[in-house]
């Protein structure tokens, strides 16, 4: 390695420092699928760190669909959607997705990150992009690649958003980008109010519904459906690595927008397309979600139960409105120590520390799946309560 780069990268020693304390919480290998109970070093561990909200990532029906797709199409498309990498099942899935989220058309990408990178970056030089301060990193990175000016507003703060919108020329292209459900705080974007401001200031709205699809809305159709505003939202983005138990992502909108995106989005045109197995798994997951509404019903039963239990036991869970629970710790060492103690006690949870969040917003993220039982949720909360009291995070 070049000496200068070696010296530059060598100055980054935070992981080593945390490892020396014995509380390094990343790259922990699992030996099983993303089930409510996973295997780690041969030990059973309660999983509360997964985004598999519908519990489908290890479902036998998705596995079988993926296997059959590999048998027919192979393991890779060996090229981009733009050139040689479009299969008939890509088109079938996109039609299914457009219908699911109530839009005219959809196009799939190989990851959800690339959807935001390739869509948000399409802003013009005379345009403006308005971002919620809690927006996902992929949205922020997409905005950095755009020629548009970027303005951030306070999280779910409509006064802040209007203040930013009011400063911009009326005729300039404007795009507001928000998450449907925020992946760390668990709260929901106030879409009706956002859309009212968008109408007032002539702006378009894009919703990243990575954590909303499969969780809220009629039959899991997402945040826009939840509020009954699908026809007012311009672009709806989703991922397949959460509720749909696979990998990839999509953007949906009207024919005019999708025509432009499909021929100008660099992360779509210059990336290999979703492999056949992933496409087939997503398609099967959507079918299961629509055919088995009890999954979402149960997810919300245990979500409401967990909310009551966390509050009753003294946890600070902020303003979450979803199966995502931010357990506020507000101290990095205590957070990492609690994660290590939890794993030792058979509970997998994930830390969220700076720079992902400010120092005073350090949390442990606790997330539910439809395949969790009420007993497992109660067991996990009880174990965490004991740890939080030992560390004096809660009294």
On whether both 137 and 21 belong to a single domain, the answer is no
What are the tokens at 323?
A: 């199966």
Tens of pLDDT along 307-316?
999 999 999 9
pLDDT score of 271 more than 70: yes
Give the pLDDT mean for 335-363.
Answer: 94
- Residue 3 falls within a domain, yes or no? no
Instruction: Please report which confidence band the pLDDT of residue 2 belongs to, taking 50, 70 and 90 as the band edges.
Output: confident
On whether both 213 and 319 belong to a single domain, the answer is no
Query: Quick one: pLDDT at residue 358?
Result: 83
CATH number, domain with residue 370: 3.90.1150.10
- Residue 197 falls within a domain, yes or no? yes
CATH number, domain with residue 262: 3.40.640.10
Query: Quick one: pLDDT at residue 7?
Result: 85
On whether both 127 and 260 belong to a single domain, the answer is yes
Tens of pLDDT along 375-390?
999 999 999 999 999 9
Strand-pairing partners, residue 347, are 46
How far is 24 from 18, CA to CA, in rounded Å?
5
On whether both 277 and 347 belong to a single domain, the answer is no
Query: What is the percent of the chain with per-residue pLDDT over 90, rounded to a whole number?
Result: 94
Tens of pLDDT along 19-49?
999 999 999 999 999 999 999 999 999 999 9
Phi, psi of 67 (to 5 degrees): -60, -45
On whether both 302 and 282 belong to a single domain, the answer is no
On whether both 138 and 110 belong to a single domain, the answer is yes
Give the pLDDT mean for 280-306.
Answer: 98
Provide the mean pLDDT of the chain: 97
On whether both 166 and 183 belong to a single domain, the answer is yes
Query: What is the percent of the chain with per-residue pLDDT over 70, rounded to a whole number?
Result: 100
- Residue 371 falls within a domain, yes or no? yes
Query: Quick one: pLDDT at residue 104?
Result: 98
Please, which residues have CB within 8 angstroms of residue 225's CB and are 6 or more apart in sequence? Answer: 101, 102, 216, 217, 218
Q: Total structural domains in the chain?
A: 2
On whether both 284 and 308 belong to a single domain, the answer is no
269, 291, 313 — which closes off a domain?
291
Tens of pLDDT along 196-237?
999 999 999 999 999 999 999 999 999 999 999 999 999 999
Give the pLDDT mean for 164-178.
Answer: 94
- Residue 136 falls within a domain, yes or no? yes
- Residue 54 falls within a domain, yes or no? no
pLDDT score of 55 more than 60: yes
Query: Quick one: pLDDT at residue 230?
Result: 98
Give the pLDDT mean for 85-96.
Answer: 98
Give the pLDDT mean for 69-91.
Answer: 97
256, 291, 326 — which closes off a domain?
291
On whether both 127 and 227 belong to a single domain, the answer is yes
Query: Quick one: pLDDT at residue 1?
Result: 57
On whether both 300 and 280 belong to a single domain, the answer is no
**Containing domain of residue 317, as a range?**
15-47+293-390
pLDDT score of 169 more than 80: yes
On whether both 211 and 340 belong to a single domain, the answer is no
pTM of the model: 0.96
- Residue 1 falls within a domain, yes or no? no
- Residue 182 falls within a domain, yes or no? yes
Query: Quick one: pLDDT at residue 162?
Result: 98
On whether both 153 and 117 belong to a single domain, the answer is yes
C-beta pairs of 69-77 under 8 Å, 24+ apart in sequence? 69/276, 69/277, 69/279, 69/280, 69/281, 70/276, 70/277, 72/276, 73/276, 74/276, 75/275, 75/276, 75/277, 76/272, 76/275, 77/272, 77/273, 77/274, 77/275, 77/276
291, 306, 336 — which closes off a domain?
291
Query: Quick one: pLDDT at residue 206?
Result: 98
pLDDT score of 357 more than 90: no
- Whole-angstrom Cα Rg for the chain: 21
Please, which residues have CB within 8 angstroms of residue 46's CB and are 6 or more apart in sequence? Answer: 36, 37, 346, 347, 348, 376, 379, 380, 383
- Residue 10 falls within a domain, yes or no? no
Query: Quick one: pLDDT at residue 8?
Result: 86
Instruction: Please report which confidence band the pLDDT of residue 359 belongs to, taking 50, 70 and 90 as the band edges.
Output: confident
């Amino acid at each position: 390695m070049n000496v200068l780069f070696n010296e530059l990268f060598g100055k980054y020693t935070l992981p080593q420092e945390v490892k020396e304390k014995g509380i390094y919480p990343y790259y922990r290998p699992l030996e099983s699928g993303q089930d409510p109970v996973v295997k780690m070093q041969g030990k059973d561990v309660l999983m509360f760190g997964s985004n598999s909200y519908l519990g489908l990532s290890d479902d036998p029906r998705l596995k079988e669909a993926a296997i059959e797709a590999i048998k027919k199409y192979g393991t890779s498309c060996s090229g981009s959607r733009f050139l040689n990498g479009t299969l008939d099942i890509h088109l079938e899935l996109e039609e299914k997705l457009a219908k699911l989220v109530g839009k005219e058309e959809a196009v799939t990408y190989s990851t959800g990150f690339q959807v935001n990178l390739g869509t948000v970056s399409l802003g013009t030089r005379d345009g403006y992009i308005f971002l919620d301060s809690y927006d996902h990193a992929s949205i922020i990175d997409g905005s950095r690649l755009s020629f548009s000016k970027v303005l951030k507003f306070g999280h779910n703060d409509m006064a802040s958003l209007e203040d930013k919108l009011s400063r911009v020329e009326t005729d300039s292209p404007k795009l507001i980008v928000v998450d449907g459900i925020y992946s760390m705080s668990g709260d929901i974007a106030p879409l009706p109010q956002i859309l009212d401001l968008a109408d007032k200031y002539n702006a378009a709205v894009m919703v990243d519904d990575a954590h909303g699809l499969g969780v809220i809305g009629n039959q899991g159709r997402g945040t826009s459906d939840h509020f009954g505003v699908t026809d007012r939202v311009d672009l709806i983005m989703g991922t397949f690595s959460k509720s749909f138990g696979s990998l990839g992502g999509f953007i949906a909108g009207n024919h005019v927008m999708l025509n432009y995106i499909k021929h100008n989005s660099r992360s779509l045109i210059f990336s290999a397309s979703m492999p056949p197995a992933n496409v087939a798994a997503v398609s099967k997951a959507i079918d299961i979600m629509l055919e088995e509404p009890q999954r979402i019903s149960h997810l919300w039963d245990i979500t409401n139960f967990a909310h009551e239990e966390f509050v009753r036991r003294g946890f600070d869970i902020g303003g979450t409105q979803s199966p995502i629970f931010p357990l506020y710790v507000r101290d990095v060492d205590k957070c990492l120590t609690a994660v290590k103690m939890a794993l030792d006690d058979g509970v997998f949870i994930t830390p969220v520390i700076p720079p992902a969040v400010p120092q005073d917003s350090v949390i442990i993220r606790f997330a539910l799946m439809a395949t969790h039982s009420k007993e497992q949720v109660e067991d996990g909360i009880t174990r965490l309560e004991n740890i939080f009291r030992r560390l004096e995070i809660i009294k």
